[in-house]
Amino acid sequence: MAPRLVCGFLLAAGLAAAPASAAPDMTFRMAPVGDPAKCGARCPKAIVAEGEIVESTPATFVDFVRRNARDPSLRSVIFIHSPGGKVIASMALGRAFRAVGAAAIVARVSGDGGVVAGTCFSACVYALMGAVKRVAPTGSKLGVHRMYTFEQGPDPTGSGAQRRRFDHGGMRDMLAKYSARMGVSGDLVEFAERTPSDSILMLSPRDIARWRLATPNF
């Protein structure tokens, strides 16, 4: 996959920052993007990444890129739409984005090749960090909360509810170092860890800009 960026069409098992509800595992596909009336069969193709980030997601992405790298119409642009997933897997996915020189856009590609608003919640934000260019168009939503995983074994209270286990600093330090390497302020991680795990705190355009997470335009 050539390290080229598409911008014209824009103008036209670690802790999990778990999603609020179960979602399908993340999949990857190619999709033509642009106005077919103008580019027809020559419309560039971008990668569409949708679903929950699980342990196998980074390897699935790398395999996808290897299988499609010789397609001359494929650009190093990823449209990502995800409720979150595993934190360690998300960092590994972000490193894979960086390795292929990818730009990531929080958006979805519609059936007619148009671009519509998307979401990147929870651990998805850590995958987004890895891209060499990060775009959060107006209308798309980014949100964070505290990392957690579920305790294994029976619930001693007998309530049947799954108990949550939280990070006590180790993962937070790892994420801070990772974010620094990716050019994103570590303050974002601190902010996320202060947000209750049963909610999603939406990032404002000001938050996104001051923490160097993304820009609204290419």
CATH of the domain at 148: 3.90.226.10
Is position 78 within any domain?
Answer: yes
Q: How far is CA 215 from CA 35, 83, 88, 162, in A?
A: 24, 20, 24, 37
Is position 142 within any domain?
Answer: yes
Cα-atom radius of gyration of the chain, to the nearest Å?
18
Question: At residue 159, what is the residue type?
Answer: S
Residues of the chain with pLDDT under 50: 1-21, 150-151, 153-160, 166-167
Q: Over the stretch 198-212, which tens digit does the pLDDT of each residue have? A: 668 899 999 999 999
Question: At residue 179, what is the residue type?
Answer: S
- Asked whether 31 and 48 are in contact (CB, 8 A), the reply is yes
Sign of CA dihedral 116, 21, 25, 101: positive
- Rounded Cα distance, 132 and 209, in Å: 15
Which H/E stretch holds residue 79?
strand 74-81
- Rounded Cα distance, 185 and 178, in Å: 10
Is position 55 within any domain?
Answer: yes
Domain limits for position 36: 8-155+162-210
Is position 215 within any domain?
Answer: no
Q: What is the pLDDT of residue 19?
A: 43
Is position 13 within any domain?
Answer: yes
Distance of CA 51 to the CA centre of its chain: 10
Is position 24 within any domain?
Answer: yes
Is position 2 within any domain?
Answer: no
Q: Is 69 helix (H, G, I), strand (E, B) or coil?
A: coil
Q: What is the pLDDT of residue 153?
A: 47
Q: What is the pLDDT of residue 197?
A: 61
Is position 145 within any domain?
Answer: yes
- Rounded Cα distance, 120 and 142, in Å: 5
Q: What is the pLDDT of residue 14?
A: 36
Number of domains in the chain: 1
User: N- to C-terminal Cα distance for the chain?
Assistant: 20
Nearest to 180 by CA among 136, 218, 130, 217: 130
Q: Is 51 helix (H, G, I), strand (E, B) or coil?
A: coil
